[in-house]
Chains A and B, each alone.
Chain A
Amino acid sequence: MKKILTLLVALILAGPVAAQNGPLRLTITDGVIEPITFAAPVFQAENAEAAQVVNNLNRLVAQDLSGTGLFREIPANAYISQITSFSQPIAFADWRAINAQALVTGAVAVNGNQMTVKFRLYDIYSGQELGGGLQLAGTTAGWRRMGHKVADAVYSRITGEGGYFDSRVVYVAESGPKDNRQMRLAVMDFDGENTQYLTDSSAIVLAPRFSPTGDRILYTSYESGFPRINLLNVANVGRQQLQTAPGEMAFSPRFSRDGGSVIYSLSNGGNTDIFRSDLASGQYTRLTSAPSIETAPSLSPDGTQIVFESDRSGTQQLYIMSANGGEARRISFGEGRYSTPVWSPRGDLVAFTKQNAGRFHIGVMRTDGSEERLLTASFLDEGPTWSPNGRVIMFSRETQGESGTSSLYSIDISGRNLKAVPVQGAASDPSWGPLQP
């Protein structure tokens, strides 16, 4: 995979810089239902070559923001003022009159295959710029990334939280009938664009997981004839089978938070337990030893604890133990079965799959098991993964019956804004990577 873009980010010195906690601030809580309104006039083309890209770039920024459900765009035909220069003074009253709370302006220059994008964000009601202007530089082929970066900056300045638009998702691309499904790994931008296939479909692959920096992917493959864990280097698509603890089947891998080791399940003699292997030394440690099924381990952000699923009580439930193993405490106590726990990037929540009364749900609970909330319900939802900022969960949804297929969906942890991720073809097992540098 070629490196498309090196981003250079620089503050534009001109213009007043508003305090970090400007008056325009959307504090995201469960109660937020009124989106922030924004106007995003087409960016200025600073030269003729840029004219072709300004509209696409501007639409991408608007689409990223509107797609969160937290922002609503004021359409261009409502504008009173036009923006004709990136440095012109803003007629705040004109934007106030059309109820825009935020204004995003930008300018683009293209030179051959290089481009620069500048943008500013204005808080219309306080009549001030929010944060300094930013300039991004990269290749024209990487224009989408620059648009995502602009949207991330806007999102971040208004919400006070990190964004998630300039990020990638690795998943299993599926084709073929249910009883002969072909599966291969693919990676795409968070919005379904720029799909690249990482493996062919000659062997079953499942549950890919990005490393914390997004440079590597762990996944389960049947390439050797048996389920084993593979490690794939994203840059050159080279892949290797991981040396695990000795066992018949290894699956359900996840990186440690420092990317240096792997926690996973190993099945031997019909019994499945959780292990950790150090990538550098190959040394392994057994973390559970129970006759029940222990699987789907996920580390806390500080790396000290592991949440996992076990049927030691008779049905699948969620447990937390030290990252070194030992005693585990059960955290799920509701009706039904709980599985595939994933610790949130902020550390406060665990996302999970829940199966109850013939339906599947994606839900979240606090790490002590309290405040369980089910976000979705369908015939089959499974495998949640967190956006880099911990605000959105992506998951697989499979439809029922003979023609049943799997696709990716995302939903806010508030339970709002459920939407299908526009992936080419059927897809499952998403893993959301980090914000790109």
Chain B
Amino acid sequence: MNMMTKATMLLLVLGTAACTNPDRLGGAGGAGAGGAGADGALAGSASDPTSPAYFNQAIGDRVLFAVDTSTLTPEGQRILDGQAQWLLTNADYRAVVEGHADEQGTREYNIALGARRANAVREYLVSRGVPTTRLEVISYGKLRPIEVCSNEACYSQNRRAVTVLSFSAITS
């Protein structure tokens, strides 16, 4: 069978799809590798309104969701208004919106649910004027909880979408 050979030619070799979100300045809820903590040197001081630390802590880098929904709450919208304003002011930053779910659900469904949540945030930010080219979405489903207990106190914190900043020139 030369099926494998043919398939190989049509597939992208790993590594050419290098990390598309370098230099991430993620908050504590950021799940990606390579993100600096909110208090890390890259994030700057929370008292500096142009710093990612200010974005993460003073504005709030995340919004929370009710069980099995991707509807933004009024509180969530208020946080996202702040995020949008900050992103418009600090035009050198891009962001990846990470969608997450609690552990009540299967892995695959929760990835799809996290994608809905991340997209709800992206759409809201775009509706507030943030160029869509500066925003990417990713879902981790239930694979990256920040709270580890198995009750609603933790679940409510894990059902989140986190806006993780990265610093890179916008080319388009």
- A residues touching B (Cβ–Cβ < 8 Å)? 177-179, 181, 183, 202-204, 206-207, 216, 222-228, 230-231, 233, 239-243, 248-249, 251-252, 259-260, 265, 267, 269-272, 279-282, 293, 295-296, 309, 311, 316, 337, 339-340, 353, 355, 379-380, 382-383, 398, 400-402, 404, 429
Inter-chain contacts of B144 with A (CB < 8 A): 179, 204
Inter-chain contacts of A400 with B (CB < 8 A): 150
The CA-CA distance from A404 to B151 in the complex, in Å, is: 12
Q: Any chain A CB within 8 A of the CB of B113?
A: yes
Q: Any chain A CB within 8 A of the CB of B20?
A: yes
Inter-chain contacts of A251 with B (CB < 8 A): 108, 111
- B residues touching A (Cβ–Cβ < 8 Å)? 3-4, 6-8, 10-14, 17-21, 32-33, 70, 103-109, 111-113, 115-116, 118-120, 122-123, 136-140, 143-150
Partner of B138 from the list A249, A272, A280, A429 (CB cut-off 8 Å) is: A249
Can you list 12 A-B contacts with CB-CB less than 8 angstroms, sorted by A residue number?
Answer: A204-B140, A206-B143, A207-B107, A231-B11, A249-B111, A270-B115, A270-B116, A270-B120, A293-B116, A296-B109, A380-B103, A401-B150
Partner of B148 from the list A179, A259, A293 (CB cut-off 8 Å) is: A179
Is A224 a contact partner of B20 (Cβ separation < 8 A)?
Answer: yes
Inter-chain contacts of B111 with A (CB < 8 A): 227, 249, 251-252, 267, 295
Is A402 a contact partner of B112 (Cβ separation < 8 A)?
Answer: no
Inter-chain contacts of A316 with B (CB < 8 A): 109
A177-B148, A228-B17, A241-B14 are contacts. A355–B108 as well, Cβ < 8 Å?
Answer: no
Q: How many A-B residue pairs have CB under 8 A?
A: 145
* CB closest chain-A residue, reference B20: A225
Other A-B pairs, 14, CB within 8 Å; known A207-B107, A249-B139: A179-B144, A223-B14, A225-B19, A239-B14, A240-B14, A270-B115, A270-B120, A270-B123, A280-B6, A282-B10, A295-B109, A295-B112, A316-B109, A355-B106
Inter-chain contacts of B149 with A (CB < 8 A): 401-402
The CA-CA distance from A411 to B6 in the complex, in Å, is: 39
Inter-chain contacts of B122 with A (CB < 8 A): 270
Is A241 a contact partner of B12 (Cβ separation < 8 A)?
Answer: yes
CB distance from A431 to the nearest CB of B (A): 13
Inter-chain contacts of A265 with B (CB < 8 A): 108, 112
The CA-CA distance from A296 to B138 in the complex, in Å, is: 19
Partner of A231 from the list B7, B109, B118, B143 (CB cut-off 8 Å) is: B7
Inter-chain contacts of A181 with B (CB < 8 A): 143
CB distance from A291 to the nearest CB of B (A): 10
* CB closest chain-A residue, reference B117: A270
Top 8 A-B pairs, shortest CB-CB distance: A270-B119, A272-B112, A224-B17, A293-B112, A267-B115, A279-B7, A282-B10, A240-B11
CB distance from B17 to the nearest CB of A (A): 4
Is A206 a contact partner of B8 (Cβ separation < 8 A)?
Answer: no
The CA-CA distance from A178 to B106 in the complex, in Å, is: 16
Is A233 a contact partner of B14 (Cβ separation < 8 A)?
Answer: no
Is A248 a contact partner of B107 (Cβ separation < 8 A)?
Answer: no
Inter-chain contacts of A231 with B (CB < 8 A): 7, 11
Is B150 a contact partner of A179 (Cβ separation < 8 A)?
Answer: no
* CB closest chain-A residue, reference B145: A179
Inter-chain contacts of B21 with A (CB < 8 A): 225
Inter-chain contacts of B123 with A (CB < 8 A): 270
Inter-chain contacts of A269 with B (CB < 8 A): 119
Is A225 a contact partner of B138 (Cβ separation < 8 A)?
Answer: yes
The CA-CA distance from A252 to B20 in the complex, in Å, is: 22
A204-B140, A339-B108 are contacts. A243–B11 as well, Cβ < 8 Å?
Answer: yes
Is A293 a contact partner of B109 (Cβ separation < 8 A)?
Answer: yes
Partner of A227 from the list B3, B19, B139 (CB cut-off 8 Å) is: B139
The CA-CA distance from A171 to B122 in the complex, in Å, is: 34
Inter-chain contacts of A207 with B (CB < 8 A): 107-108
Inter-chain contacts of A178 with B (CB < 8 A): 145, 148
Inter-chain contacts of B150 with A (CB < 8 A): 379, 400-402, 404
Partner of B146 from the list A179, A204, A227, A241 (CB cut-off 8 Å) is: A179
Partner of B10 from the list A223, A243, A295 (CB cut-off 8 Å) is: A243
Q: Which of A222, A233, A243 neighbours the largest number of chain B CB atoms within 10 Å of its CB?
A: A222
Partner of A353 from the list B106, B140, B146 (CB cut-off 8 Å) is: B106
Inter-chain contacts of A243 with B (CB < 8 A): 10-12
Is B143 a contact partner of A204 (Cβ separation < 8 A)?
Answer: yes
* CB closest chain-B residue, reference A213: B1
The CA-CA distance from A251 to B113 in the complex, in Å, is: 13
